[in-house]
A and B are shown apart, each in its own frame.
Chain A
Amino acid sequence: MNIDLTTQPPPSLDTVFAAMADPTRRAILSRLAKGEASVNEIASPFEMSQPAVSKHLKVLERAGLVTRAVDQQRRPARLNAEPMREAVAWLEEFRTFWTGSFDQLDGLLDQLKKDVED
């Protein structure tokens, strides 16, 4: 097995959101969405030191968004999208609540206007 699949409780969505709140880390995720990459490969477009990239990767790993291969020398980082899907579902719920309410408000306003006209 190349990929580290240690079984841990899934990270909370809080950790996922906090990890995604940083623009550099989002850029790293975007890079990894195109395919796995080593720290070196990630660092080059950012003009960032390898230790700095490693630090960001650790935050992403803790959030469960990134896995690192263990027994290869370059230890490529790989994206794990599942936590992000849950996070997005949470956001969607917040938005759905309000847009759904607004739809109902729209209907209510129509009704009220009719009542006034009648």
Chain B
Amino acid sequence: MSDLPVYVLEREFAAPRALVWRTWTEADLLAHWYGPGVETVIHELDVKPGGQWLNEMKMGERSGYQKSVYTEVTPPERLVMLMSTTDEDWALTPNPMMPDWPATLLTVVTFEEAGGTTKMRLEWSPHEASEAEIACFAGAVENLGKGWGAGMEMLEALLLDLQK
């Protein structure tokens, strides 16, 4: 399992950890920041192992739906959930743009307090994924994440090539 591709995003916030924790676990706060440029409607938020977060994102006429099931909740330092894209009945659906994008991503959020600020780290990896899903995600991660130094150079050459 340890060789699964992992994509990591980190961010530091000038706020105490207890407060950052609340923004992930209280529906009115979570709806306030989650999803840029969309109206976020939280249909259910039950932050405990086995509980779920049912999330609708309204983009004009259309809506996107996500279901997350919590597997580990350790206030105020660690949240683990299984995040999936769903239809409006909260049934898992493959991404129309990218059928091999992993249907479910294991999402680990950790909060670390450092002198009044909070370091938040998000990790995504494919959960119970097919080989095709893992390959798809690995390609994404390697190009977006750690391999991006060389990748960026390559991309620049490619974009030049495109403009010929």
A interface, CB within 8 angstroms of B: 12-14, 16-21, 26, 29-30, 33-34, 79, 81-82, 84-85, 87-88, 90-91, 94-110, 112-113
A81-B158, A113-B19 known; 12 new pairs, CB 8 Å cut-off, are A14-B100, A14-B136, A21-B138, A26-B147, A29-B158, A95-B9, A99-B11, A101-B35, A103-B36, A107-B33, A108-B23, A112-B29
Whole-angstrom CA separation of A107 from B137 in the bound complex: 31
Contact of B140 with A84 in the complex, beta carbons under 8 Å: no
Can you pick out 7 interface pairs between chain A and chain B where the beta carbons lie within 8 Å of each other? A17-B136, A20-B143, A21-B142, A30-B157, A33-B158, A90-B98, A95-B9
Among B13, B37, B147, B157, contact of A106 (Cβ-Cβ < 8 Å): B13
The CA-CA distance from A72 to B12 in the complex, in Å, is: 56
CB of B99 closer than 8 Å to a CB of A: yes
Contact A101 B136 (CB under 8 A): no
Chain B neighbourhood of A82, CB < 8 A? 162
Shortest C-beta distance, A100 to chain B (Å), equals 3
Q: Are A101 and B34 in contact (CB under 8 A)?
A: yes
Closest A residue to B37 by beta carbon equals A100
Q: Which of A18, A85, A107 contacts B135 (CB 8 A)?
A: A18
